[in-house]
Chain A
Amino acid sequence: GAVVSQHPSWVICKSGTSVKIECRSLDFQATTMFWYRQFPKQSLMLMATSNEGSKATYEQGVEKDKFLINHASLTLSTLTVTSAHPEDSSFYICRAETSNYGYTFGSGTRLTVV
């Protein structure tokens, strides 16, 4: 079946640095990638939607200059958390949607900013 590989699975970074999270579709082309954030003991909240080759669409309240999303190819989408702060510590997970209507999640990235 369709697999989305997400890396890293966990990362600890210092406050003020940037972190890049990658999601790769291994055996299919992901026309659309969704990025979610999940704070401890909370639900998954959609941050943004990206389509290959175009700018991402951000949900209300999500800072697009802080959470940079790139979807340069049909197999790779990246989320960069710029100038990370402790309040950005969260679980980030991507979801790919293929052209034939599938839902495939990455395995998630646990970000801790110290």
Chain B
Amino acid sequence: DAGVIQSPRHEVTEMGQEVTLRCKPISGHDYLFWYRQTMMRGLELLIYFNNNVPIDDSGMPEDRFSAKMPNASFSTLKIQPSEPRDSAVYFCASSPDRARSGANVLTFGAGSRLTVL
């Protein structure tokens, strides 16, 4: 398996622009997570899905952020409009169901580094 695939790897945009980050989880994984990593706040869970359904979005910072998972092989995280404080590395991760794997081991993508000017 190619692992969790994220795109783009780097994105530089101007304040006010819309940003869309994409993720392809590992085939057969039931859970998909979006994390944000910054120097100040470390790793924060933004939202996670189970079988394409959003389960917990309490970490989404505000209404400018939205995430979708239209099918088992694709998810997007959208920021509209973007602000400089959104600059961070955004990670997508996926995992199989605990009942099958015995524990919730997450596999992470390489991340999307976002810079908002």
Chain B binds chain A: no
